[in-house]
Amino acid sequence: MKKVKGLIVATFAAYKSDGSVNFDIIPEITEHMVQQKVTGIFICGTNGEGPSLSTEERMQVAEAYMKAVRGRLRVFVHVGHSSVTEARRLAAHAEAIGADYISAVSAFYFKPSTVKNLIDSMAEIASAAPNTPFYYYHIPNITGIHVDMMKFLELAEQYIPTFAGIKYTASTINEYQACLHYKDGKYDILFGYDELLLPALAVGAQGAIGSTYNYAARLYIEVMNLFEQRKIKEAEQLHFHAVEMVQLIVKYGPIPTQRAIMKKIGLDLGNPRLPLQSLDTEAEHKLYEDLTASGFLELVNGL
């Protein structure tokens, strides 16, 4: 299977004022991503609030994106669920509508007790979409599943016929590099920590999935271009602007802050579902002041 190169945007959920999913804005979100010149989109994941949506809503979101994309972007559908049965429904549906890839986190309430137990769970989900490449979504800070990814790779290739790789959302660059080198780079290991993209490139990353690519893809694409040209100092200086941006996100709260930034660039996604909350008016105002002072969005738009 051909590996995925470039940036994959982890899109955000969108809601109407009554709390229902806003499917009407999905074509507009999609056009924005096409204009950002990214490789693809990752839907119904962490930023897409997959765990807060019903199975039916997730299916409808996937259908809306597939209709809007029209083959212009690669589409990853996150099908992870605490219920393996529901995850299988989502996987089968994603394959039926023509998604390019599926991905799943581990169950995060009743957690797998061993690597083999985790593999068995992922194999059960992946088998519901036997013709669609499967990526395990490794995000231990959220799921609490801390397993050796090298052992995972060894077993995944034995028990998951459609296994394509890992969405690696962890800061352990050394393990990430080891996964990249497993069997001479047999699998596609997509990096998921935006603020560590440059270090990941240094150890061999070719593709990445992230949230800040929603509005700052141009900056990261330029970082990747500079790195390929071996203009390391220029790449480092530009990448530091992204690090400073992430510091703002940490200051105000990851998802609420980024949803406010999306509103700032003209894509009002509404209020997230509880327990997530939007920034209050004062915090939003201070965020916009900080954004103005940093010149981050102006920098991104100027690239």
- Comparing C-alpha atoms, which of 34, 44, 53 is closest to residue 12? 44
Instruction: State yes or no: is 213 an active-site residue.
Output: no
Whether the CB-CB separation of 119 and 152 falls below 8 Å is answered with: yes
Catalytic residue among 135, 136, 137, 168: 137
DSSP for 82-113 reads: SSHHHHHHHHHHHHHTT-SEEEEPPPSSS--S
Instruction: State yes or no: is 167 an active-site residue.
Output: yes
Alpha helices in 182-231 (DSSP H): 197-202, 213-228
184-189 own/partner pairs: CB under 8 Å, 24+ apart:
186/157, 187/153, 187/157, 187/163, 188/1, 188/3, 188/4, 188/135, 188/164, 189/165
Whether the CB-CB separation of 149 and 119 falls below 8 Å is answered with: no
Catalytic residue among 65, 135, 167, 215: 167
Whether the CB-CB separation of 276 and 49 falls below 8 Å is answered with: yes
Cα separation, 98 vs 132, whole angstroms: 9
Q: For 191, what's the count of Cα atoms within 13 Å in the CB-facing half-sphere?
A: 30
Residue 29 has which token pair? 């979100």
- Comparing C-alpha atoms, which of 163, 106, 164, 100 is closest to residue 137? 106
The CA-CA-CA angle for residues 218, 221, 224, to 5°, reads: 155
Ligand-binding site membership of 209 (annotated): yes
The residue behind tokens 């790789």 is 165
What's the CA dihedral at 136, 141, 142, 144 to 10 degrees?
80
Cα separation, 3 vs 189, whole angstroms: 9
The set of catalytic residues is 137, 167
Tell me the binding residues: 209
Binding residues for pyruvate: 209
